[in-house]
Structure 1
Amino acid sequence: MLSNAALQRVRVKPRAYKIWDALGLHLFVAPSGLRAWRVRIRADRREAVISLGDWPNVSLDDAREAASVARGMYVQGVQPKAISARMAERLAQSAITFEQLARDWHEARRDRWTEVNAADVLASLERHVFPAIGEDLASAITTPQLLRLLGQIARTGAAETARRIAQRVSAIYRFARARSIVDDDPAAGLVGELATGAPVQRQPALEDLGEARALLDAADRARVAPAIRLASRFLALTAVRLAAVRGARWDEIEGVDWSTDAPAPAALWRIPAARMKMAVAKKADAANDHLVPLSPAAVAVLRQARLAGGADLIFHRGGRPIGEGAIGALYARCGFAGRHVPHGWRATFSTALNERYPDDRFAIDRALAHVQASAVEAAYNRSQHLDRRRWLFDRWAELLEGDVSTDDRSK
């Protein structure tokens, strides 16, 4: 039988010759330098020689496996040409790298995601996975290999990132199995094997409005891309989730005439339900769009962002969403690491306004797109309280910009 060492010693000769392995498998060596795997099969008084690909593109192990499959097909009556074509397809698929496979999966799935989510999924693979195993054959990657990689990610303090990547890698292999590219999913069950992360804690958020203003001022002075700086202030003024700002599009803004600098008292940001954090069944219903009344300060930020132009996204870098960690990194650079994160603006907003206007608890919750505690209330009380929410966002902007006393709790 052939060995990998023997294959390395194969030399081209003036005349073609064959080197036999077993069960009809052999390597055909031509004067041109071609080294082709072929298998001779006999069944029911029939005989055929079927091509299985070239060495070293097709390894000895792969050639043996392909020969076994070809024998089975021939015995079942499949014609040699059809077998050769199927073997070529099978071997081509088995030669796909993990990065190629992952990008194919991402392209096939991207229509199911928001633009921001699609960018985040690909970015996580490009940052954590492709450098380690991207060039490896997808069919050759093992479960221990993946577990080591995920463990390395988790040990950096990114346990949740490791779990998400495990889920994505498993989804990639399920995609490949459905297309007969691989036989197994080496990532199956790895989420459960990862060490449980630390208990979920409250997101760091500033409660003192003076410190909140200091953070925004520091962020405005920082040497950072304008899109990140403007997104930071817009995030604070609207108190939405970070993903909503990163995916914000110009066609979601209503009630503003961009051709003039005239005030826009009815300015509104309509965030599609598909981009909101809610049950999948609700995402398809436009009635669940989240409406954010925009204060004059928020509109001013948008006017600055509009000067950059060049994309459907409001806050972008070269047409792509700003990075998921860009604003958090900005706050850390400004000296607020561990004290305030982008999501923290929601807590700051809620704390400041509930303290000053406790009778407006419901309107404040609606402003934050919080799910109502009572299912009955959620079903029957669909009041948007837009006028009151607009009033609250205007007061919030004044508090952040220091235009009113932080002790003014009147209506």
Structure 2
Amino acid sequence: MSLTDIKIKQAKAREKIYKISDERGLYLEVTPTGSKWWRFKYRIDGKEKRLSLGVYPDVGLQKAREKRDDARKLVADGVDPSVHRKAQKQARADANANSFEVVTREWFEKQKKVWEDSHADKVIRRFERDVFPWLGTRPIAEIKPVELLAVLQRIEKRVVETAHRAKQNCGQVFRYAVATGRAERDITVDLKGALTPWKEEHFASITNPEEIGPLLRDMYAYKGTFEVQCCLRIAPHVFLRPVELRLAQWREFDLDDATWEVPDERMKMNRPHIVPLSTQVVDILRELHPLTGDGDFVFRGRNPRGAISNNTVNKALRGMGYSTKNDITGHGFRAMARTVLDERLRFPVDWIEHQLAHMVRDANGRAYNRTAHLDGRREMMQAWSDYLDKLRVSAEEAHAKL
């Protein structure tokens, strides 16, 4: 006989557990404490099994029957309802573990190790304020371009620049998710042109050889600590981003092979990068090694266990009388190399772009590996150092005649 709400309410606790049957495998189990549990008895693969459907009255009679019917459909399809439930629970757990916020914070913990504290704070606050409230709990693999665009457009109404920076950061997170097997692709590539154009302010740079020589002369005459002197002298030769240079560690160098391998976690594009070293750079490093080679960082700062600060090179340039807003910045050596290597020394643009660690793709759209054009880049880096030395020596000789 089928159960009714009255029968269920009248069921009293006994010394032992007992059950009251409904129909088609559904029954109510009453415990000695008075709790009433819905159970579904079914048979699959020749075995009798039971599935819990909830507690009465949280789950009423009608809802219990609906759950039973859903379970019966699974059994009819050859699916064990208990196994199905465990799989769903695991899927929910996986989705939570792969939520946009979880993946972002994991990526952030890795990146902040090579960032200035102020920059790291800006990045995570941008996510917490403008992105997590709308996308934080979403499984990152399920987020659609249109969803992300809606979030970015909300930011855009306030500040266009912030929207572009948020898009850039989101792209980095998606690429990290792809690399760690939690997303199929970086959806930010679908948003090209979707935001109001914004032109990023370029770093000040000197690209005229007649001005590069005097700059190098002044840099070689700088009277700061020897670590900073060496960093200044190397910077234009390797033209890396300031953070990639200042955090250099001795274990990354093979001076005998004249090669520097910068690890992916310190590179902007999250890809390891090879820097062929000219004889001039190797000589500077060998001269510096007796001073800082007993530690991790090549350019050791005031803290013996740390590196020079992110502002050290720019501060030194300002101390020489150069404006880091209008003349030259530590980042400006990249534009210097890009322009002169192309326009004056006539090296292939592909070689230059690879050495700048820009994302360069082949005809099939695939990113070149880090060793692409390595022999040619080694030749280029030596020619570049020779050219810089020539400009500096000429400037020193001209200055000596004054």
Length-normalised TM-score, structure 1: 0.49
Name which one, 1 or 2, has greater alpha-carbon Rg: 2
